[in-house]
Structure 1
Amino acid sequence: MDISGLVAIVTGGASGLGAATARKLAEQGAKVGILDFDAERGAQVAAEIGGHAVKTDVSSEESVAAAIAEIKEKLGAPRVAVNCAGVGLAARIVGREGKLSTDVFDKTIKVNLYGTYNVMSYAAREMMELDPLDTGERGVIINTASVAFQDGQVGQAAYSASKGAIAAMSLPAARELAKPGIRVMAIAPGLFNTPMMEGLPEETVAGIVANVPFPHRLGMPEEYGLLVSQIVANPYLNGETIRLDAAVRLPQR
């Protein structure tokens, strides 16, 4: 699919992987709608790339429905939807003094998994109403898992569960949406230089990088955006989760 001139929506597009993806798609000629809870930063990125931003709580079906309706009104119906919005909360299942983390699990599932499903659902419905392109495609949906879906560390039970579910959705969603010509893929990024990582002490980051085989560094958000663009361009990629991780395997802790 040639992205030039098409409409793309990116959740979490105000920062990190989402912002890099929004910039990459805009660079290739897409009209980009940014859905992010941070309205101010979302508007800044949208202004930079000539797109449109909507404050969105992806865990709320009503908020997602309203946001996609606004993007459709301002830019047109989306051919591409990229889900980058998410939270990375960490907590042991049973912590000190028997404290449980069911609240962390609930929030993580609602934002990461329900949020992805909400956006995928509303975006797919819009794509199904579009005419097919020369390739037969009506659209492509790219969701963000994490290497933690296979290599979850201590304290990542909730996060790994949410990302594992996103990876598991790829094939059945791709099969269901095959008839109207909508592809569904997932990317499982490894250790990336996102705002969360930038806030860590230098020695902590060095310890994290020590586990990365090659390239021996953190991933750059632009490399995530590049893979998104490559998935959009390659019509035979469908129903799969791609690890983008420089061959890293997360240790137990």
Structure 2
Amino acid sequence: MNFENTAAVVTGGASGLGAATARALAAAGAKVALFDMNTEKGEALTAEIHGIFCKVDVRSDDDVDAGFARAREAHGQERILVNCAGVGNAFKTVGRDKASGEIRQFPAAAFDWVIQVNLVGTFRCIVKSAAGMLTLEPGEGGERGAIVNTASVAAEDGQIGQAAYSASKGGIVGMTLPIARDLSSEGIRVNTILPGIFDTPLMNAAPPQVKEALAASVPFPKRLGVPEDYASLALEMLRNPYFNGEDVRLDGAIRMAPR
């Protein structure tokens, strides 16, 4: 796919993996719209890359519809969608408080929140973007569009406390191939990246020694992933017309331990 003057939407685009991808797409000539809940960061980034910011909660049909409408009014129908919006939490399925002995259960509402944002939100954006792509004339090779989703190595190596997060990311992996097959006759490709341990805003609260230990656990290169690593693979998935229906780990060969 040629990025020059091509409309793109990046969810979770105000920071981290999404921001790096938005910058890379803009540098390649794409017209980028960001969906995010953080207005301050989103507007600052779109001013930098000459894009457009849309405040969108991916759990809401109305928000997502309004976001796509605004992005398309500014840039035209997108041919590119990169889904980076995501959240996480950590609760044991059932655990015992060491001090009191109290038995605690994973709150169903906390489980549902992660599933709704990460899995259902990703699917919602795919559906609404792909429906718009179907209105486009096919480009070179019959392609109408390309979609990249964000899962996690937790889809395969979920750690203690990650039941909701792993379920949400495993769902993204599980739906990649069937969605790619659903959309194949319309010339829309779908792929998913499974990042390992990345130095994103979610890691900012970790002490330096924790980051150093995590980096040392990566076989090679012995560092945390950086958002630009993700952006590089996302753009290759978008660019390469034969990349379709794939779930690719981007993790320096790490395999996560139970904790």
TM (norm. structure 1) is 0.98
**Any idea what SS the aligned residue of 2:235 has?**
helix
2:127 counterpart of 1:109: no
**Could you tell which deviates more after superposition, 73-82 or 204-213?**
204-213
Deviation at 1:198, TM superposition (A): 2.2
The 8 Å contact of residues 12 and 34 in structure 1, kept in 2 or not, is answered as yes
Q: Distance in 2 between the 1:93 and 1:107 partners?
A: 15
CA deviation profile, 1:107-163 (whole Å, cap 9, x unmatched): 000100111011001000010110111121000011100000000000001000000
Q: Does 1:203 align with 2:209?
A: yes
Structure 2: unaligned runs, 5 residues or longer: none
The residue type equivalent to 1:197 in the other structure is M
Corresponding residue for 2:66?
66
Question: Paired residue for 2:244?
Answer: 238
- Match of 2:190? 184
SS across alignment from 1:146: coil
Aligned to 1:132: 138
What is the Cα deviation at residue 74 of structure 1? Answer: 1.1
CA–CA distance in structure 2, aligned partners of residues 19 and 113 of structure 1: 20
- 1:90 maps to what in 2? 90
> Is the Cα–Cα contact under 8 Å of residues 211 and 250 in structure 1 kept in the other structure?
no
Q: In structure 1, give the amino acid aligned to 2:121.
A: G
Structure 1 gap segments, 5+ residues each: none
Shift of 1:50: 0.4
Aligned partner of residue 235 in structure 1, secondary structure: coil
CA–CA distance in 2 between the matches of 1:181 and 1:230? 17
* Equivalent position of 2:234 in the other structure: 228
Deviations 1:75-110 (CA, angstroms, capped at 9, x unpaired): 111100000000021111113322222222110001
Tell which deviates more after alignment, 34-43 or 98-107: 98-107
Residue identity (%): 51
Q: Distance in 1 between matches of 2:103 and 2:144?
A: 50
**Aligned residue identity for 1:4:** E
User: Within 5 A, what are the aligned runs for 1:14-163?
Assistant: 14-95=14-95, 96=97, 97-101=102-106, 102-163=108-169
Please give the alpha-carbon distance, in whole angstroms, between the structure 2 residues aligned to 1:98 and 1:115: 32
Distance 2:10 2:239 in 1: 17
Count of matched residue pairs? 253
Partner of 1:8, secondary structure, is strand
1:68 positional shift: 0.6
Q: Distance in 2 between matches of 1:237 and 1:25?
A: 18
Structure number with greater Rg is 2
1:40 and 1:203 map into 2 onto residues whose CA distance is: 30
Asked whether the 8 Å contact 1:211–1:249 carries over to 2, the reply is no
How far does residue 39 in structure 1 lie from its aligned partner after superposition? 1.3
- Residue in structure 1 matching 2:172, options 166, 173, 183: 166
- In the alignment, the residues of structure 2 paired with residue 66 and residue 100 of structure 1 have an alpha-carbon distance, to the nearest angstrom, of 37
TM-score relative to the length of structure 2: 0.96
2:13 — aligned with what?
13
Q: Structure 2: which amino acid aligns with 1:225?
A: A
Equivalent position SS for 2:54: strand
- Where 1:149 maps in the other structure, the secondary structure is helix
- Tell me the alpha carbon deviations over residues 199-244 of structure 1, each in whole angstroms, 9 at most, x when there is no partner: 2101111221121000100011011011111111100010110100
The RMSD of aligned alpha carbons is 0.8
Stretches (4+) displaced over 6 A = none
CA distance in 1, matches of 2:129, 2:103: 42
